[in-house]
Structure 1
């Protein structure tokens, strides 16, 4: 499944999510963050495993001040950095809608 880059109204959180994911992966995988981009494949390219995924999700939650509905997390969300950032954006949008009573 391909991800699409969010529109300008949500691009800030999307960009922050990509940067947070890249920084966290760089630390845990001991690679240069500059080598990690939106299209970097989490498992195939970066060697993530289930433990690293959990650490990554906790870091994203902490850095971005949100909690994920992990039941909604599917394999396609973990294909690339960008796909995971889209999931983060979707979760933030849903939380904003819930808070607004939508």
Structure 2
């Protein structure tokens, strides 16, 4: 199995994903972005709902120029800002690996 080093785009993607998620939530939920952190619970603390989830995913896809396979999204991906950012980073790495192997 060939190991590939993540490029700069995926290496800093976690931080970019956190910033994108935080900014999007602050805007759509009318919250102060400084009150949203990696450990903020999306549904319990921030009041995320199904409509906001769709808006959030579209914003992430647009701003980070990627697409999600929504069939693999599960509730645990939306536990916190950090768990969603990790999912975004993993998806980007998988897409980069798939493109490298194509």
Name segments (4+ residues, structure 1) moved above 6 Å. none
Question: Root-mean-square deviation (CA), in Å?
Answer: 1.2
Structure 2 unaligned regions, length at least 5:
1-7
Q: Between Structure 1 and Structure 2, whose CA radius of gyration is higher?
A: 2
Question: Does the alignment pair 1:66 with 2:49?
Answer: no
Q: Matches of 2:74 and 2:60 in 1, distance apart?
A: 17
Deviations along 1:21-76, whole A, 9 cap, x unmatched? 00000000001111100000000000000000000000000000000011111110
Structure 1 unaligned regions, length at least 5:
1-8
Q: Equivalent residue for 1:45?
A: 45
Q: How does 1:1-102 map to 2 (within 5 A)?
A: 11-101=11-101
Name the TM-score, length of structure 2 as normaliser. Answer: 0.88
Name the TM-score, length of structure 1 as normaliser. Answer: 0.88
How many residues are paired up? 94
